[in-house]
Amino acid sequence: MISRYAIDTIEELQKEGLRLAPADIIRLNALGLKIDRGPDAANLYTKRRAVFLGTLTLREPTIAHALFLSDIRALPAFADIGEAGGVALRAWVLSMDAPPEKPLAAEDALAQVSAFITGPLANLTLAQVRSAVDYCINGFDSAAFEHPAPADADPDSLEETADDWAHLRDFSYELGLVTQSQTLRLGLTAAEAKSMSARQLAAIVERASDLAALNRSDNERMAYFREKKNRYISEFDRTVGEMRMRLLAAASQEKAPKGERQ
């Protein structure tokens, strides 16, 4: 299915002399369809992303993984681990089938991360590990022509909108999703909700929220779906902005004399 919204934007970019890659066009069409479909554009529930890295399998973090990583990263012992240490720390957590139920002591965590670096990561480059971690966490790999749109300026300080859950996400997106799943009475325990990735649980919560909105008053229902569509438009516009900046930079680089190209 082709999005008219996306086609118009693609034509505008092409008139500017920008050469979109096939991946760019496919991505804009997918985002445009979310806008076109409106209430039916909830994300699908999918399996967690996975990457095979040497002898390791890294997977998209569940909410439990994300909370465990946040707790570990907050330990003073990990305050100055640098970029390489941060990448290794994330890879260590993403390699776990499930994070420990109880917090680890700082010395135990340091010992396990050190053993992980000198063991499974020993024959891998930093670039390989970083690429795998980025894909698991963010769902993109710039080496494979995927370029994420910049996030909202300040996603942790949301203004009041028709999105009923904004105030819940102020303190933690992941915990906010768990709270939403409990409030919506989806039949999930908190532990079951935390065993899913944020992306998986968000898809379930969004669909349940959409269905609940259908039973509201006309004004409330219209406000809910209007705000949802506005979020999709914002995502689309940020993506177009990222593409325009990247393609303009590429075009400028091509025009530069050979000796000045980077």
Mark out the alpha helices in 74-217 (DSSP H runs): 82-94, 106-118, 126-138, 166-169, 173-183, 190-194, 198-213
Q: How confident is the model at residue 141 (pLDDT cuts 50, 70, 90)?
A: low
Rounded Cα gap, residues 21 and 166, in angstroms: 35
Q: Is the pLDDT of residue 161 over 70?
A: no
pLDDT for 149 equals: 66
Q: Is the pLDDT of residue 112 over 80?
A: yes
Q: What is the mean pLDDT of residues 8-31?
A: 92
Report pLDDT digits (tens) over 215-250.
899 999 999 888 888 988 999 999 999 999 989 988
pLDDT for 147 equals: 66
H/E element holding 235? helix 218-255
Regarding pTM above 0.75, the answer is: no
pLDDT for 251 equals: 85
Mark out the alpha helices in 16-78 (DSSP H runs): 22-37, 63-73
Higher pLDDT, 45 or 244: 244
For the ranges 39-53, 57-71, 102-116, the lowest mean pLDDT is seen at 39-53
Q: Alpha carbon of 20 to those of 77, 146, 147, 206: distances in Å? A: 45, 12, 12, 31
